[in-house]
Structure 1
């Protein structure tokens, strides 16, 4: 949800959170934000539409998404990064979630060069040691990392369907968020 909310402007985010999370009425939201009630309704409507349009659906080009997942797995296991750089979009974004329990990047990593350097760096530190399995994650192809029979990381890949490369990479290592995952 945080990744989705990050796509909204600060005002859209405020209206959306006040309305959805705190169930404020439009009159109260308008008072807090010093905007008209009608304007707040429109901002909320626009924010919902933005979020709805970006919710994950099953990938259209599943063969290519599977190829990208297998490329990620191969790079993680072999350290051969030649194919990886070509699989990233120029404006790729990598978001990690360690939940304060495991080391992770504090801020999203943006652009091909920085994401590539991050993946290369964590691979060099043996962060992807264990069994790596291609899985479906929220309607997207992803990778489940298992170590000592326990899930320790889930990587979700979002495809840029126009350019057939990775637009977003989400890495969840927070143990609290992995408790519901059953190991195949």
Structure 2
């Protein structure tokens, strides 16, 4: 179902139709190709249960994951809010625009230190973002850019990409329901980041 190296905005927005557990199972299986046994261990569920959850999640999503259009102007606003929060260390305004059941997925590819498990709910995502920000994880250049034909945030250090951050909105196209952070060097090499920067 996923044709690109990274998960597109359209894919993330559609994940808003799933429950937090369904989203976690689906992303781990579909985007990261985790085995059901590994997913079961990570989420503390049985392998059979994870198979059922994945099957149920897949039935809820359309076959074409690339035809969804987001509110791009609002995504610009969200990107700029995140960048300002990263620069000041004050994430309160950004946290206010997260849904209660927001899910943050990190892809470090085992080569970059990152959260192994999907982080679920507003309180935990807030604590995670504030924690990694306090440790300097977002130091460097942060730019709104086009990533695989979608708008996102590129973080650079010494002219090299170190992280790409994408958001997906809820069904009302207002609050952030999913955050996807790619810091896996192998995937960063394949991300088509254009020179276009949003002012």
**TM (normalized to structure 2)?**
0.65
Q: 2:63 aligns with which of 36, 52, 65?
A: 52
Deviations 1:95-116 (A, max 9, x none): 0010111101111000000001
Change over 3 Å in CA distance of 1:56–1:7 after alignment to 2: farther
Q: Which portions of structure 1, spanning 4 or more consecutive aligned residues, are displaced by more than 4 angstroms?
A: 1-10, 53-56
2:146–2:194 Cα contact (<8 Å) kept: no
Whether contact under 8 Å (1:151, 1:183) holds in the other structure is no
Corresponding position of 2:130: 120
Alignment length (residue pairs): 153
Aligned mates of 1:176, 1:56 — CA distance in 2: 27
- 1:144 corresponding residue in structure 2: 154
- Specify the alignment match of 2:116 in structure 1: 106
SS of the residue aligned with 1:106? coil
- Relative to structure 1, the CA distance from residue 122 to residue 167 in structure 2 (aligned partners, 3 Å threshold; closer, same or farther) is same
Q: Which runs of 5+ in 1 are unaligned?
A: 18-32, 34-43
Q: Give the distance between the partners of 2:83 and 2:69, measured in 1 at CA.
A: 20
Map of 1:92 onto structure 2: 102
Q: Which deviations, in whole Å up to 9, do the C-alpha atoms of 1:141-182 show, x marking residues without a partner?
A: 310001101000000111114160111000000111111345
Q: TM-score, normalised by structure 1?
A: 0.70
Relative CO higher for 1 or 2, CA cutoff 8 Å, sep ≥ 6? 2
SS in 1 for 2:61: helix
Q: Distance in 1 between matches of 2:98 and 2:188?
A: 26
Moved more, 129-138 or 142-151: 129-138
Query: Which residue number in structure 2 is paired with residue 28 of structure 1?
Result: none
**Per-residue deviation, 1:62:** 1.6
SS in 2 for 1:119: helix
The corresponding residue for 1:79 is 89
- Identify if the C-alpha distance between structure 1 residues 7 and 93 changes in structure 2 by more than 3 Å, giving closer, same or farther: closer
Which of 56, 73, 83 does residue 63 from structure 1 map onto? Answer: 73
Q: Secondary structure at the match of 1:52?
A: coil
SS at match of 2:131: helix
Distance 1:140-1:90 versus aligned 2 partners, 3 A rule: farther
